[in-house]
Amino acid sequence: MNNFDFYRPTRYIFGHGCENDTGSYAKEYGFKKALVVSGGNFAKRSGLLARVCSSLERAGISYVSLEGVKPNPRADLVYKGIELGRSENADFLLAVGGGSVIDTAKAIALGIPYEGDFFDFFLGKSKPQKALKTAVVLTIPAAGSEGSNSAVIEKEINGNIVKNGLGCDFNVPLFSVMDPELTFTLPAYQTACGVTDMMAHIMERYFTNTQNVDVTDRMCEGLLCSIIANAPVAITEPDNYSARANLMWAGTMAHNNICGVGREQDWATHHLEHQLSALYDVAHGAGLAVMFPAWMEYCLRHDVMRFAQFAVRVFGISMDYEKPERTAKAGIAALRAFLKRIGMPLNFEQIGAHSEDIPKLLDMLGVDDHERFEGHFVKLHRSDCEKIYKLAAEYRD
């Protein structure tokens, strides 16, 4: 196990009706004015936004609203939010929504005290020195942004869409209010996208070269097993509280890095996927369902026993001691079968992506065959990434 320093001080407030007390939690920190960020439709239409805002009023906290965050959130609304937050003297951000809303709020929180262009942080041109605090009312278990140190934003630069993530301590939310009942309205497809994303967050950590990481291995496997058991229930019974609650907590544990400490992590698949969601505006989870099994196929021979362990412990496949590669491959097939069962796409065609665009995706990814690569478990240069995109494009059931 590697040395680590783990500090993720988000307070999680979890359970029935807790969103109605958001204002009193915010008051505990002495906040006076919220910039409330929400999405295009759900929070307003369902009455959630009104309930959260009245809880702020009851707590004596004034607020200003910024609505209209779209999935795969754009920089434009972040700029608008920065202006609004400054002119209205907001002293904290309150995100009411999923990953896209939370990431927009995090970016605004970084941008308000910064004199330059907030996207400099996402391009690695500058490092954040301060930020406003962000709090969350979560409505979809998926991205894990309610407990993560990252934010992902898209911006069009010179005709190309750049979708970049930024990891830093300022992005860790102060508190996250998590009521599983708020997720009853999630359509099956969106539920499945979230499930795929949380599984991917665990697998990005699971496939590692670090040896002797039994505790986090078993935590990853346990979470994956729980997600695999609860996802079909939540999809067929959308208002099953237990299934929704287990998925909600799993999504947070998947990405607040408790499963990632002390081990090298990979993240190539996420970066391969971000180019797909940037180019085709496909849901991040759907893109991951297409890319993760393809990445696994390509990397399998790097450590057959780790893939076999995944197959045995996560999907209950019997170990073939003579030919462990068979077990490893059966694990990838089981993952694809599960993703298909929950309604996820498995190839380019099913997400409206085209193999002719692979050179463009590779340019966007910014890899070459010399110095610039993706991943850690296996270092992937441009020709490797090209092969993985091709595997994903050409896969057929």
- Binding region for Zn ion (CB under 5 A): 197
CB atoms within 10 A of CB 184: 15
**Partner interacting with residue 361 (select from Zn ion, ligand NZQ, none; CB below 5-8 Å by kind):** none
Strand-pair category, 150-157 with 133-138: unpaired
The C-alpha angle with vertex 342 and arms to 148 and 227, in degrees rounded to 5, equals 45
Which residue's CB is nearer to Zn ion, number 164 or number 355?
164
Beta strands 92-97; 160-167: pairing state? unpaired
Residue (197 or 217) nearer to Zn ion, CB: 197
Q: How far is the CB of 334 from ligand NZQ (least distance, A)?
A: 23
Q: How far is the CB of 274 from Zn ion (least distance, A)?
A: 9
In the complex, the residues that contact ligand NZQ under the rule CB under 6 A are: 39-43, 71-73, 97-101, 103, 139-140, 142-145, 148, 150-152, 182-183, 185-186, 190, 193-194, 197, 255, 270, 277, 284-285
- Shortest Cβ contact with Zn ion: which residue? 197
CB closer to Zn ion, 36 vs 283? 283
Cβ of residue 100: shortest distance to Zn ion, in angstroms? 12
Which residue's beta carbon is nearest to the bound ligand NZQ?
39
d(CA 233, CA 237): 6
d(CA 259, CA 239): 28
Distance CA 123, CA 103 (A): 15
Query: Nearer to ligand NZQ by C-beta: 276 or 330?
Result: 276
CB closer to Zn ion out of 19 and 197: 197
Q: How far is the CB of 54 from ligand NZQ (least distance, A)?
A: 19
- Tell me the backbone φ, ψ of residue 175, rounded to 5 degrees: -145, 150
Using an 8 Å Cβ cutoff, are 126 and 170 in contact? no
Q: Whole-number minimum distance, CB 62 to ligand NZQ, in Å?
A: 23
- For the chain, count helices (H), then strands (E): 15, 8
137 φ, ψ (degrees, to nearest 5): -115, 110
**Partner whose binding site includes residue 185, from Zn ion, ligand NZQ, none (CB under 5 to 8 Å by kind):** ligand NZQ
Length of the chain: 397
